[in-house]
A and B are shown apart, each in its own frame.
Chain A
Amino acid sequence: MKIVVCIKQVPDTKGGVKFNPDGTLDRSAMLAIMNPDDKAGLEAALRLKDQYGAEVTVITMGLPKAEDVLREALAMGADKGILVTDRVLGGADTWATSQTLAGAIRNLDYDLIITGRQAIDGDTAQVGPQLSEHLNIPVISYAQKIEIDGDSVIVERQYDDRYHVLKAKMPCLITALAELNEPRYMTPGGIFDAYDAEITVWGRANLVDTLDSNLGLKGSPTQIAKASDKVRKGAGEKVSLDPTESVDYIMDKLLTKHVI
């Protein structure tokens, strides 16, 4: 079985984000990590490899330094890493990103493609389903459990108040939730090997059946009209009182605001 896992290098937004004086995001001041949902997708692929035997290829689109997340994936147990990088791919929205990944993946044999549900920088959850559409294969989003049954996958697909157990013929694309599993750590041997491993680097010329008009900023149907810091509602009052006075303070507010 051949599995392709799409991963993305993202700024770690947990500790808040930093901005340059011109208002753009200061990515250099923030830790760059493998996107958590993608890591869960990679872990799911590695478990299928452990259980059924599989070749796991990780692919990322990004700046040359995105190579770091490919090496991390190799150190976890992935077999091959592909970096898709080219200046003409910059500024892509989800349409152009999914077109780029589709163009790259058309070079590969695959039974299963796994992506994370969403990346913590954009939070869109769009690239996985869009990629599946461009490749004309079924998609199962929000996977919380994945099993193989002959030439099909059986997946638990999460919804708000239920889950569906779905069966799809491979090839198929699955988007993984971070809750799917607890990703393994890199092994020391794995880190050592990953450091030396060959990373395949592809550019625009390697994309199959892809129009220039669908790539990068120019190929992106959505355009940013405005980006700004979130303007937060200002702080109101803050008091430090003993417990009884604190209760009286809250009661006073609840009564004057007619909550009770």
Chain B
Amino acid sequence: MVNEMNLEEYKGVFVFAQQVDNELSSIALELVGKGKDLAKDLGTEVTAVLIGSGVKDLCTELAEYGADRIILVDDPELKEYRTEPYAHALAEVIKTYKPEIMLIGATAIGRDLGPRVSARIHTGLTADCTQLDIGDFPINPIPGKEQKHNQLLMTRPAFGGNTIATIACPEFRPQMATVRPGVMQKAPRVEGAQAVIEEFNPGFVPDHKYVEILKIVKAVSDVEDIMDAKILVSGGRGVGSPENFKLLEDLAAAIGGTVSCSRAVVDAGWKPKALQVGQTGKTVRPHVYFAIGISGAIQHLAGMEESDIIIAINKDETAPIFDVADYGVVGDLNKIVPVLTEKIKEARANK
């Protein structure tokens, strides 16, 4: 491979600190947390790259969640996310600061920004990672082939969650990955923690690649973020009808949980996409996950199997959801769920 890069020049773990409407997205702090672990393994620091307009205030939060350094690109052109000015900002940060690792959230923003930037700077990008480690490549030594150390090993599901692949990027820098939201853990917040802040502005000259935003339409909904819920009461096609979700809503209210659903329910138009768990929905890891009338397609399992306790209720005893459930109950949800709700209310009232 023709490669003029001097890999030794590239140092440090960088994370893209995604913000929307001048609020940090959860993934920004998750990446700072994971970046800190990787930086520790490499004996280096974690740097957050904060891009936006009037976003300097967010540096405090990034520092308190563990960023050692923040590179701030603040410019009026960056008020709303648009591919080109953001790609320009991040690509110039990479060219100037030369990180060895660059992590980006696998969000609707990051999955556009990441590939555009990786193509511009000519490096590899691994999509939707669910695990990141520092290790050797090849993993086991192969005679006649150099085994490189301190490589970023990026693990991700493929083929709709049927397989797992671990990818490396040994010859190019930075090693870039987009990371599934909700998978990595934030570090504990340390009040008053400080980070070094460096302001950087590569200049923004609009050209044909700058698209114009004619209108911004925000979804009017007060749906809770299912990724933050400690208890999820999740329903599938087996619930039978949108009206019957009332049973799940009552159970959620009694136990202090939030309702979520499978893809089939969203496709049927019973619930909004924001509540969908799975490969094309959200990855969740609540303390308790109730899977009610969910058969457990592999794409669904990929989004919830890291939950601490999985309780499944399904009529079909061969449903694949039982393969991952800690407690599986074969039975009719219509008969079980309402009684369960009442029992939980009683138990809580008696405490």
Interface residues of A (CB under 8 A from B): 11, 13-14, 16-17, 25, 93-95, 98, 120-130, 132-134, 136-142, 154, 158-169, 211, 213, 218-244, 246-247, 249-251, 253-255, 257, 259-260
Closest beta carbon of chain A to B229's beta carbon, Å: 13
Interface contact A126-B115, CB-CB below 8 Å: yes
Given the known interface contacts A141-B83, A232-B301, A257-B309, the answer about A251 and B169 at a Cβ–Cβ threshold of 8 Å is no
Interface contact B214-A238, CB-CB below 8 Å: no
Q: Give bound CA distance, A13 to B84, whole Å.
A: 34
Nearest-CB residue, chain B, relative to A211: B2
- Quick check: is B247 within 8 A (CB to CB) of the other chain? no
- Which of B82, B122, B330 is the one whose CB lies under 8 Å from A240? B330
Chain A residues in 8 Å Cβ range of B325: 235-236, 238
- Quick check: is B107 within 8 A (CB to CB) of the other chain? yes
Chain A residues in 8 Å Cβ range of B330: 238-240
Interface contact B108-A159, CB-CB below 8 Å: yes
Given the known interface contacts A133-B120, A141-B112, the answer about A123 and B348 at a Cβ–Cβ threshold of 8 Å is no
Stretch at the interface among B50-58, B189-197, B336-344: B336-344
Interface contact A169-B208, CB-CB below 8 Å: yes
Interface contact B158-A121, CB-CB below 8 Å: yes
Chain B residues in 8 Å Cβ range of A211: 2
- Which of A16, A235, A259 is the one whose CB lies under 8 Å from B287? A259
Given the known interface contacts A139-B83, A213-B1, A224-B167, the answer about A246 and B322 at a Cβ–Cβ threshold of 8 Å is no
Chain B residues in 8 Å Cβ range of A225: 137-139, 153, 166-168
Nearest-CB residue, chain A, relative to B311: A250
Given the known interface contacts A162-B218, A228-B163, the answer about A123 and B2 at a Cβ–Cβ threshold of 8 Å is no
Interface contact B335-A243, CB-CB below 8 Å: yes
**Could you write out 17 A-B pairs with CB less than 8 Å apart?**
A17-B159, A125-B115, A126-B114, A137-B208, A139-B83, A141-B108, A161-B219, A162-B217, A213-B1, A225-B137, A225-B153, A225-B168, A227-B166, A236-B327, A238-B330, A250-B327, A251-B343
Over the window 119-139 of chain B, the binary record of Cβ atoms lying under 8 Å from chain A Cβ atoms (1 yes, 0 no) is 110111111100000000111
Interface contact B128-A123, CB-CB below 8 Å: yes
- Which of A14, A158, A246, A254 is the one whose CB lies under 8 Å from B331? A246
Nearest-CB residue, chain A, relative to B171: A221
Chain B residues in 8 Å Cβ range of A25: 159, 163
Chain B residues in 8 Å Cβ range of A126: 111, 114-115, 118, 125, 127
Closest beta carbon of chain A to B307's beta carbon, Å: 9
- For window 287-342 of B, CB contacts with A under 8 Å fall at 287-288, 298, 301, 305, 309-311, 313, 317, 322-332, 335-336, 339-340
Q: What range describes how many residues of B lie at the interface?
A: 35 or more
Interface contact A98-B83, CB-CB below 8 Å: no
Nearest-CB residue, chain B, relative to A255: B347
What 17 additional pairs, Cβ within 8 angstroms, besides A229-B163, A236-B326, A251-B344? A93-B124, A94-B115, A95-B125, A121-B159, A138-B208, A140-B211, A169-B208, A221-B172, A227-B158, A228-B163, A233-B305, A237-B327, A240-B317, A241-B329, A250-B329, A254-B255, A259-B287
- Which of B160, B208, B305, B329 is the one whose CB lies under 8 Å from A232? B305
Interface contact A129-B83, CB-CB below 8 Å: yes
Given the known interface contacts A142-B112, A232-B301, the answer about A165 and B217 at a Cβ–Cβ threshold of 8 Å is yes
The 5 closest A-B pairs by CB, nearest first: A221-B124, A133-B119, A13-B160, A222-B124, A238-B328
Nearest-CB residue, chain B, relative to A132: B116
Q: Give bound CA distance, A213 to B4, whole Å.
A: 12
Chain A residues in 8 Å Cβ range of B125: 94-95, 126, 222
Given the known interface contacts A130-B118, A236-B327, A238-B325, the answer about A138 and B107 at a Cβ–Cβ threshold of 8 Å is no
Interface contact B344-A168, CB-CB below 8 Å: no
Q: Give bound CA distance, A154 to B214, whole Å.
A: 9
Interface contact B336-A247, CB-CB below 8 Å: yes
- Which of B109, B120, B164 is the one whose CB lies under 8 Å from A159? B109
Closest beta carbon of chain A to B204's beta carbon, Å: 15
Chain A residues in 8 Å Cβ range of B138: 225
- Which of B2, B124, B327 is the one whose CB lies under 8 Å from A249? B327
- Quick check: is B187 within 8 A (CB to CB) of the other chain? no
